[in-house]
Amino acid sequence: MNIPRFHLKKIIPPPLWFLLRNVRNSVRRIIYIGNKRFCPVCKKHSRRFIRLSSRKEAICAYCLSLERHRFVWFYLQENSHLLKKTNLKMLHVAPEPALEKLFREYIGAGYLTADLFNPDVMVKMDITDIQYPDESFDVIFCSHVLEHVDDDKKAMSELFRVLRNNGWAILMVPINSEITIEDPSITDSAERLRLFGQEDHVRSYGPDFKQRLEQAGFKVKVISPPDILTNEQMIRIGVINCTGDIFYCTKI
């Protein structure tokens, strides 16, 4: 009988679960030994990235970064002056493990993680009602969050409000439609999966996401992988199937 993975986690004692997970990760890394691929997040080479559903090379075998994580970190490295300033205050919404450690090292004491549901962050935060004063942060990073938020326009307005005038924000969402599709009346998870691509998404964004950000007050520059990477580079760092363009936002 096949027991679903989430059931296994419930019945296996935590120490044994962590041991099994570590063994699995070690075996996986052996399987993927090679130098054809390079992860800019953990700076490790591998034979290829791990397949995820229809995405042939999605996950780094070492740090588990996804395409969008590798793309955005490559961009930040190419524009390293963005994180060179001292005494920065940064808000990282729904922090990704692959990036959290790196941001924490760069930003230091001014780094703040926030999420509405994750208990492991520094503050509990609803981004449609951010409990910080105007112009509190020099940097905001919020990736693949807004597609889960019912009132994304209010969230964008709040992110704009707490960003300092000389600061910048990177806001990323999956771009899967020709134009943004949303319907607040749809609450069935199966229907959300069919229309929006995931059970807990409340919309599917199109390229007009840029205009939505501009309506909130941001000046927006859109960066796609081909804008800064050759085809060979995209293959090497595994961002050929990246659906997360970088929306680099500043205040006008």
pLDDT at 3 over 90: no
Under 8 Å CB-to-CB from 191, ≥6 apart: which residues?
none
Phi-psi category of residue 209: left, alpha or beta, with phi > 0 → left and psi -120 to 50 → alpha: alpha
DSSP string, the chain: -PPPHHHHHHHS-HHHHHHHHHHHHHHHHHHT-SSSEEETTTTEEES-PEEETTEEEEE-TTT---HHHHHHHHHHHHTGGGGTSSS--EEEES--HHHHHHHHHHHGGGEEEEESS-TTSSEE--TTS--S-TT-EEEEEEES-GGG-TTHHHHHHHHHHHEEEEEEEEEE--B-SSS-EE-TT---HHHHHHHHSSTT-SEEB-TTHHHHHHHTTEEEEEE-HHHH--HHHHHHHT-TT----EEEEEE-
Per-residue tokens: 182: 């949303």
Class of residue 187 by CB neighbours under 10 A (exposed 0-12, middle 13-18, buried 19+): exposed
Q: How far is CA 179 from CA 89, 125, 148, 175, 212, in A?
A: 34, 29, 17, 9, 11
Going from N- to C-terminal start, the domains of the chain cover: 67-251
What is the structure's pLDDT at 12?
A: 62
> φ, ψ for residue 103 (rounded to 5)?
-60, -40
CATH no. of 67-251? 3.40.50.150
Q: What is the distance in angstroms between the CA of the first residue and the CA of the last residue of the chain?
A: 59
pLDDT at 89 over 50: yes
Provide the whole-model pTM.
Answer: 0.86
Under 8 Å CB-to-CB from 226, ≥6 apart: which residues?
234
Q: What is the pLDDT of residues 119-138, one digit of tens each?
A: 999 999 999 999 999 999 99
Give mean pLDDT, residues 2-31. Answer: 58
Other CB atoms within 10 A of residue 227 CB: 11
- Angle (CA) 240-245-250 rounded to 5° is 155
pLDDT at 218 over 80: yes
Closest alpha carbon to 220 in 161, 162, 160, 180: 160
Other CB atoms within 10 A of residue 232 CB: 8
Q: What is the pLDDT of residues 176-202, one digit of tens each?
A: 899 999 988 999 989 988 888 888 899
What is the structure's pLDDT at 242?
A: 79
Closest alpha carbon to 125 in 108, 142, 103: 142
Q: Report how far residue 83's alpha carbon sits from residue 107's, in angstroms, rounded to the nearest whole number.
A: 7
Q: What is the pLDDT of residues 129-165, one digit of tens each?
A: 999 999 999 999 999 999 999 999 999 999 999 999 9
